[in-house]
Structure 1
């Protein structure tokens, strides 16, 4: 008995296999034209750019040798920045978990997700420095304003990504847990969280790194941390101490990156 004939192959495509469509090419042209228009409106010139490089080189030259005599100011500011970042990350994660669940369209009704996503959108709308200024006016100068400002930023970032991660889970595991008669919280604990845990750890560690950096910026407007000392050093033209602060911040970020990578390996995520 002869084998059945195989179905005919589809006709081969002619032309370039990865050629962009007309719409994509038109969008690229429009983007290039707008870029040139924006450059012309912002008074950008290569002369200003080259002069800026020279000014930047002279500024960096003034930072050497570094000032290592103000360890008390540096240590106090760095410790406060670390405290702000850790507290803001912890509060942001605690508040982002319910917001992320409520914003997932595959778990909640539409009217609930709209409210949760509106909260996330509000938290993401303003830069942490602007939020820090608002909280400085509300609660006064100090670390509390910085913690509150970075908590709002953490909710905007983690809440959005966490709700999107939940929407991408496989429904089979969720339905299997529901078929056992489990409650809603058990469905969340055994059907949803195991599928998004690794991604959530990544979101949380990235937000901690981001809050470590942002704690410097909010300090410039009086919300605690090393940012206030950095701004004062710039005002005093104390560029040696500026370099010491910046180098310490870089070292902390690198150490945090090494620590988060070790944590991910320990958790096997």
Structure 2
């Protein structure tokens, strides 16, 4: 009689040991070759530790004396984030329905998926540079950038949620002769509403973080204030700006948790 193992062990994803260890070795060799062939100036990297020490020494204690400039930059970032989140959600909902394979016909599905893929293909900084060149420096470029950024994230996850719905409710309404809009509002929206609320709250604080990044290339908001502070070597003021950004994100995270509990 064959002895049974005394404990269960999860099976390997790759069952063949030779292939499994071959992949491990190949990945290790690739990693070593990548580090060896990258043009890294190790001497400059070592000197960078000393420069980083000077930056941190100059950053403490944080300087809040120019609070007016800090607050105006933060409020501009907040406006950009709210506008981008609202616009992104309004555009993402119909795009998500287009990109849901169980709702849309194939041509519409491919169009919706293609649009989402294009929106996700470019980093927000690259999109911000394009919009800065197109509409000039300022918050408009930042808002347009983050609308594209929101579409790429929200529409994709919302489309996946639509594809996971209980389709029996949709078929029941269709069998009773309900039109498409009635089916959408009474059979689909109630099932995806919790995900929509969660994505909207997450995207708001995500856009607030991203506004600080795209502002560095001239797309308005507190990122521009932060870039100017670093450009003037005002590291103490830069630390104050960073602390305000982190504090705002923490507050938004706590508020979003409370709101989700109330609405869902």
Alignment match, 1:246: 242
**The one of 136, 149, 169 aligned to 2:132:** 136
Shift of 1:49: 6.5
**The one of 189, 197, 207 aligned to 2:203:** 207
Alignment TM-score, normalising by the size of structure 2: 0.90
Shift of 1:44: 5.7
Alignment match, 1:165: 161
| Higher mean displacement: 190-199 or 103-112 | 190-199
Alignment match, 2:65: 69
Per the alignment, do residues 72 and 14 of structure 1 end up closer, same or farther by CA in structure 2, a change over 3 Å counting?
Answer: closer
Partners of 1:223 and 1:118 lie apart in 2 by 26
**The one of 233, 237, 246 aligned to 1:237:** 233
**The one of 93, 116, 122 aligned to 1:120:** 116
Alignment match, 2:148: 152
Gaps of 5+ in 2: none
For the pair 1:262 / 2:258, whether they are aligned, the reply is yes
Q: How many residues align?
A: 258
Partners of 2:86 and 2:10 lie apart in 1 by 46
Partners of 1:24 and 1:99 lie apart in 2 by 41
Partners of 2:99 and 2:50 lie apart in 1 by 49
Q: How big is the alpha-carbon RMSD for the aligned residues of Structure 1 and Structure 2?
A: 2.3
Post-superposition CA distance 1:149-204 (Å, at most 9, x none): 10011111111111111111121122122222211111111111111111222222
Alignment match, 2:194: 198
| Higher mean displacement: 184-193 or 146-155 | 184-193
Partners of 1:139 and 1:25 lie apart in 2 by 53
Per the alignment, do residues 108 and 226 of structure 1 end up closer, same or farther by CA in structure 2, a change over 3 Å counting?
Answer: same
Partners of 2:96 and 2:20 lie apart in 1 by 34
**The one of 19, 23, 29 aligned to 2:11:** 19
For the pair 1:93 / 2:85, whether they are aligned, the reply is no
Partners of 1:267 and 1:29 lie apart in 2 by 50
Per the alignment, do residues 195 and 26 of structure 1 end up closer, same or farther by CA in structure 2, a change over 3 Å counting?
Answer: farther
Gaps of 5+ in 1: 1-11
Shift of 1:241: 0.2
Alignment match, 1:216: 212
Post-superposition CA distance 1:205-242 (Å, at most 9, x none): 12111100110111111111011111111011101100
| Higher mean displacement: 254-263 or 190-199 | 190-199
Per the alignment, do residues 217 and 164 of structure 1 end up closer, same or farther by CA in structure 2, a change over 3 Å counting?
Answer: same
